[in-house]
Amino acid sequence: MAKIRIVYASVTGNTESIAEMLQEHMSGKGHDVDCANAENVEAKALGTGFDCVLLATSVWGTDTIELPNDFAAYEDAFSEMDLTGKKCAAFASGDSGFELYCAGVDFIEEQYKAVNAEILLDGLRVDGAAPENKDQIIAWADELLSKL
Ligand SMILES: Cc1cc2nc3c(=O)[nH]c(=O)nc-3n(C[C@H](O)[C@H](O)[C@H](O)COP(=O)(O)O)c2cc1C
């Protein structure tokens, strides 16, 4: 059993719905999964006490990446986080009509690399909310669990 932390930022609830689906699925497989909004988790202690960290954020903006306010504390704090060597992955909801589709995944993975976190698998990019993308989300969760 792994201790997994999911932390998300979500404006309209789409990324949140993915986070909750991941939590439910991985908990159902016997893992201890904590799921919280980024606003409620102190950035510096993000990975402390967890085997695996999953970070997620949507993006808003047209030619530049604009992260939700909930994610603000994380934007500049990666260098201070305890993620070096930690098993990590990223996910996001987005809209494939935008050029920077699910760019929150790219942003988070860049930060993981900068602090030498261990990226377990390519980030999950979901077009819209969880219910209509269940198969994709569950397949990603199972691949992730197989790497823990
Ligand atoms: C002004 C605006 C800009 C957006 N920019 C992007 C974008 O660059 N990339 C993307 O994938 N989605 C973009 N979106 C779509 C949202 O990120 C998408 O609806 C997402 O599902 C919202 O997730 P959330 O509810 O978790 O915040 C944009 C939406 C709006 C209204």
Domain boundaries, the chain: 3-146
Superfamily name with CATH number, domain 3-146? Flavodoxin domain (3.40.50.360)
Q: Which two tokens stand for residue 9?
A: 């930022």
Q: How far is the CA of 41 from the centre of ligand 1 (A)?
A: 23
Q: How far is the CA of 100 from the centre of ligand 1 (A)?
A: 9
Q: Which two tokens stand for residue 76?
A: 């500049």
Q: How far is the CA of 93 from the centre of ligand 1 (A)?
A: 8
Please list the pLDDT of the chain residue by residue as tens digits (148 residues).
999 999 999 999 999 999 999 999 999 999 999 999 999 998 888 899 999 999 999 999 877 889 999 998 888 888 888 899 999 999 999 999 999 999 999 999 999 999 999 999 999 999 999 999 999 999 999 999 999 9
Nearest atom, ligand 1, residue 13 CA = 25
Give the mutation target among 8, 70, 93, 108 for probing the ligand 1 site: most ligand atoms within 8 A of CB: 93
Return the SS3 of 140.
helix
**Radius of gyration (C-alpha) of the chain in whole angstroms:** 14
Q: Which two tokens stand for residue 131?
A: 């219910």
Measured in residues, the chain has a length of 148
* Phi, psi (rounded to 5 degrees) for 101: -65, 125
Minimal CA–CA distance to 26: which of 119, 142, 122, 135? 142
Q: Name residues contacting ligand 1 (CB within 6 A).
A: 10-16, 58-62, 93-95, 98, 100-103, 128
